[in-house]
Homo-oligomer: A and B are copies of this chain.
């Protein structure tokens, strides 16, 4: 998503040229390209699919909507399996229209995970609950802290349900360093983005290029390392300004920034 302006062939080609060994994919461009074809393209390029983003949105109260969400998540698991990634990232979902009950929404996520986790495990896919910044609590994700994500994940086996640790969402939280220790083997992916202000309207597409913002990225990488994480590190920037730029140039810059600020 960092370089959404690139098609999948150009993306994989540029990753290979830059020495980037893996890529996290989003469902929409994969579906547009064809899941089998995308899997072959990335595999033939010698790249690993680090994660598939995203499943989730599991907070519906209405039974028909809930069933629809579960079906869509099973489809996402299937797509992850075809792509050969072991991790599906979940954005849990916000409050249903008219509801003010955060606790109830979180409990419905747990119930849904109870159905999805075994389905995913049978297909070799793990579910990574991603806490999103509290500014998304009402409309996108009622799971706002790493501890909340772990409270949910720990109800399930550690090889089935874990968390996605994204610096953008947790950097402000003085309890997050301890939560990283707590997460340990449940850290299924580690994502980097920097925090820059002012935030744009809607606050979705204002993530900062690595090094441009307030986050000590290397300190977070070292915490995740110390917790025993040795998997891929992803850079996930949603940024309207960055998306206006040439994608190859941007991906080159991201790789340089990664080395300078996080390696």
Contact = CB atoms under 8 A, between A and B. Distances in A.
A144 B133 CA distance: 12
A199 B202 contact: yes
B199 A137 contact: no
- By size class, the interface of chain A is 20 to 34
A157 interface: no
Contact of A203 (B101, B106, B203): B203
A138 B214 contact: yes
Secondary structure call for the A interface: loop
A102 interface: yes
Given A102-B174, A215-B100, A199 B201 contact: yes
Contact of A134 (B106, B139, B172, B201): B172
Interface string A128-172: 000001110111000011001000000000000000000000011
Contacts of A215: 100
Contacts of A134: 133-135, 172-173
Interface of A: 95, 100-103, 106, 133-135, 137-139, 144-145, 148, 171-174, 195, 197-203, 213-216
